[in-house]
Copies of this chain bind each other. A is one copy, B any other.
Amino acid sequence: MNIGQAAAASGVSAKMIRYYESIGLIPKTVRTESGYRVYSDHDVHTLRFIRRSRDLGFSVEQIADLVSLWQDRERASKDVKAIALEHVGVLERKIRELQEMASTLKHLARNCHGDARPHCPIIEELANDDVTPPATKPDAKFGALGKASAR
């Protein structure tokens, strides 16, 4: 099977398959004489595993761990669970953060006439100067979340 067929069968784009190979998430495949990558059903199965993991928002790093646990017959389920729960924690923190933004904005928008006049509580709140601003550099970094939907 060529990369395009593997992509169609797994739901992972050919671009991403090559990328995953380049970063070592999946092993280098066999090639035809002319250099085409060749995939087996087993490879497609792995790619689906990866895709489902991405759909759940896991980072590539976490997926690497999940894949190796998957292939380890002597894995401890607690190791899998730990990865999953840690990710749930990240997701929930992120959700709360977005919910705070959304509720603040909805509250402000509710009080905005939304007509042709300039008066606007939203702008006023943004321009509000008596709130404490210099809460610089709090904690860890986020990322990756939000790309799953871009696929």
Chain A residues with a Cβ under 8 A of chain B: 8-11, 13, 45, 48-49, 51-53, 55-57, 66, 69-70, 72-78, 80-82, 84-85, 87-88, 91-95, 97-99, 101-102, 104-106, 108-109, 112-120, 122-123, 125-129, 131, 133-143, 145-151
Interface of A is mostly: helix
Please tell me how many copies of the chain the complex holds: 2
Contact check, A143 vs B150: say whether CB atoms are below 8 A apart. Answer: yes
Residues of B within 8 A of A92 (CB): 102
Residue on B nearest A87 in the bound complex, by CB: B105
Given A9-B134, A150-B141, the answer on whether A120 and B75 have CB atoms closer than 8 Å is yes
Residues of B within 8 A of A117 (CB): 76-77
